Chain A
Amino acid sequence: MPRIRIYQEDHIPSPMQKVWQAFADNPFALMGLWAVFCLLTLAVFGPWIAPFSPEQQDPLALLLPPSWDASGTVEHFLGTDDLGRDIFSRLLHGAHLTFGMALAIVLASLVVGFVIGSISGMMKGLKSSILSHLLDALLSIPSLLLAILVVAIMGPGLDNVFWAVGIALTPQFVRAIHQAVHEELQKDYVTAAKLDGANSIQVFWYVIMPNVWETVIIQTTLAISAAILDIAALGFLNLGAQAPSPEWGAMVSQGLDNLLTAPWTVTIPGVAILCSVLAINLVGDGLRSALSPIRN
């Protein structure tokens, strides 16, 4: 007996596949995803690809313009800075400082924010209010102020950026996850599960969490772009990565002395930051619109 066909398509896509299809329909988002993959590869393998070491100085090629300029050479593809260091190699070496650091910070604050946010979201009354609102308002302090406090105690350095940016990002996760959990908790299907006798841990993990992951994913993409911008800004102000470091923001601040004679020492790292943040934002935007039919 032949199989009864209820649906016209044989294969019914799972929710995950639907999200992927909606995401892949948006060419910009897909472009962003490829760019993020490239960035990840560069963050891991950058130091092997780079033709020069980040600190190697070439006294014969000071302030060499990029190769497309008439006086540039292909050896130094993106030109050199005032000490004759190859900008292309420095960018590649800096990728894991800026981009990798951002990922590490976001991961750490995601874990902390997830724990606090879900605990405060599941609780009711004063305790929940204290955990969420207090943290919320207190940590709406700008990341730069936190960085200033951290630097005042521990001195400048890339490690301290981890704390400054991490402390600034955590409340965003707490806020987003708290709100999402809190909203789901009021819905009828949660009450149904409670009536079935599920305890609060079961309600949280098996009932509420599957509906909160989308918020977490979107918040994570937002946080990565914010973290890159923050790390770079602190590097630029000399509060984060220090002078010889090829961190992208620090590279901009090192090029500042030659802004008028050699604008590419500032422009190129800036464009690198812009492109990586843009790629992440494209992915985040694409994800948000792909997930929105599910969320509503």
Chain B
Amino acid sequence: MGRYLVRRLNLFIATTIALITVLFITTGHFPVERPYALSGIAAPTSTQLQNITDNYQLNGNQLQQFIAYAQTRLGGDLGLSVTSQRPVIEELTQALPASFELAIVAGLIAVLLGVPLGVLASLSKNKVTQHSIMAITLTGYSIPVFWLGLTLSLWFGVELGWLPVSGRINLLYEIPPVTGFMLIDTLLWDSVYRVSAFKDAVFHIILPSITLAVLPFTVVVRITRSAMLTIMEQPYIKAAEARGLHTGTIVLRHALPNALIPVLKNMGLMLGTFASYAMIVEVIFSRQGVGSWLVSGIYQRDYTVIQGGVLGVAMIIIFFSILIEVLHTAYNPLSRKEIYAAN
């Protein structure tokens, strides 16, 4: 296992270097001058220009430039945002918690609803139930997320007027950021309106998180169902049945833990798509977050924000997909066999 972890760590490092290489090459192709694209300062004074040239080794050869670029970026200096002239790293760390909040809520909805439904779909012998669950999941899988978001906000936000359709909280509340997670910050807020602010934050997250949850939900249902169908045929389930165990016990104790392994694996594979969807959802519901920040960055041709955002988001996704792979291996002894067999 130790050797495996070292190999995954190597993979993470190698991927990060490759990612920085890609960003370095693309930065060279941005249709602006190089010091501007690197630092975000539009009209640098001569001392600033000197600083930029020194920092990024602009007079050196490509390799020196690349090393200087990698050092600066990994050292946390992502340059200044072209539009706001604030450090990009500051804006990124401010925007990240909001996106994590949305992703966590959507992921929880998907797993907490998807796994039970998948189990029910696999246990049901009724053709109608099976077909309707499959039809619903297939439709959910095919819906364009931007259109779903618009339709939901049109129905529940505008026509029924039940839920707010934009932002993270009503503008009446001035919540001091502590963790960056609105749901936690409102509870930490030292005010008599704490509970109503929390309720408001919850109302604001319902529509975006449901929109975002549709894709992972359908995937979880389908994978859980097919995994359960395979597992319920296994001899050890028959043995448990022969021992006279209750169906509930068999499903929960013997079948479900094994059925969750492929679900975990597919979540890792889905991460990229999920992140794309999360960014679109943030734009539609005008929520603060990395997605809306990056998309407005590209509208304004904010080259430093684009580089910093892409680097940050891509590294987070790579980290999580490797983490899920490691977890998958740790939980699944069968895949460990493969590691030792492989050279």
Contact = CB atoms under 8 A, between A and B. Distances in A.
Contacts of B146: 232-233, 236-237, 249, 252
B321 A233 contact: no
A259 B154 contact: yes
Interface in B284-307: 294-295, 297-299, 301, 303, 306
Contacts, number: 138
Interface stretch (B102-110, B111-119, B137-145, B201-209): B137-145
Contacts of A143: 272-273, 276
B223 interface: no
Nearest to A143: B276
A232 B306 contact: no
A2 B150 CA distance: 71
A148 interface: yes
Nearest to B31: A153
B322 interface: yes
A142 B298 contact: no
Nearest to B147: A270
Contact of B298 (A133, A138, A148, A266): A148
Taking chain B's interface residues, is the majority helix, strand, or loop, or is none over half, making it mixed?
Answer: helix
A21 interface: no
A148 B158 CA distance: 31
A143 B272 CA distance: 7
Nearest to A253: B146
Contacts of B294: 145, 148
B313 A149 contact: no
B19 interface: yes
Interface string B7-19: 0000110110011
A137 B22 CA distance: 14
B302 to A, nearest CB: 9
B147 A273 contact: yes
B67 interface: no
Contacts of B4: none
Nearest to B275: A142
B30 interface: yes
A187 to B, nearest CB: 14
Contacts of A233: 144-146, 276, 280
Contact of A278 (B12, B30, B139): B139
Contact of A142 (B12, B273, B283, B343): B273
Contact of B11 (A134, A141, A145, A168): A134
A131 B275 CA distance: 24
A270 B284 CA distance: 15
Contacts of B295: 148, 237
B30 A153 contact: yes
Given A153-B29, A278-B138, A285-B138, A226 B154 contact: no
A222 B288 CA distance: 32
Nearest to B141: A281
- Best-buried of B22, B29, B276, B321 by chain A (most CB within 10 Å): B276
A177 B295 CA distance: 33
Contact of B144 (A28, A152, A232): A232
B138 A239 contact: no
B317 interface: yes
A77 B137 CA distance: 31
B332 interface: no
B271 A140 contact: yes
Interface residues of A, number: 48
Contact of B283 (A137, A138, A237, A259): A237
A230 B145 CA distance: 10
Nearest to A130: B14
Interface in B1-59: 11-12, 14-15, 18-19, 22-23, 26, 29-31
Interface string A263-296: 1001101100110011001100100000000000
B310 A140 contact: no
B144 A229 contact: yes
Given A137-B11, A137-B318, A141-B317, A149 B272 contact: no
A225 interface: yes
A28 B15 CA distance: 42
A195 to B, nearest CB: 20
A124 interface: yes
Nearest to A151: B298
Interface in A223-257: 225-226, 229-230, 232-233, 236-239, 249, 252, 256
A149 B303 CA distance: 9
Contacts of B306: 148-149, 152
A13 interface: no
Given A134-B18, A148-B294, A153-B29, 7 more contacts: A124-B343, A138-B18, A144-B276, A152-B303, A239-B298, A249-B146, A281-B142
Interface of A: 28, 124-125, 130, 133-134, 137-138, 140-145, 148-149, 151-153, 155, 168, 225-226, 229-230, 232-233, 236-239, 249, 252, 256, 259-260, 263, 266-267, 269-270, 273-274, 277-278, 281-282, 285
4 smallest A-B Cβ distances: which pairs?
A270-B147, A142-B276, A277-B142, A144-B276
22 contacts: A134-B15, A137-B12, A137-B321, A141-B313, A142-B317, A145-B275, A145-B309, A148-B306, A149-B23, A152-B298, A153-B29, A226-B273, A233-B144, A236-B280, A238-B299, A252-B146, A263-B154, A266-B147, A270-B147, A277-B143, A278-B139, A281-B141
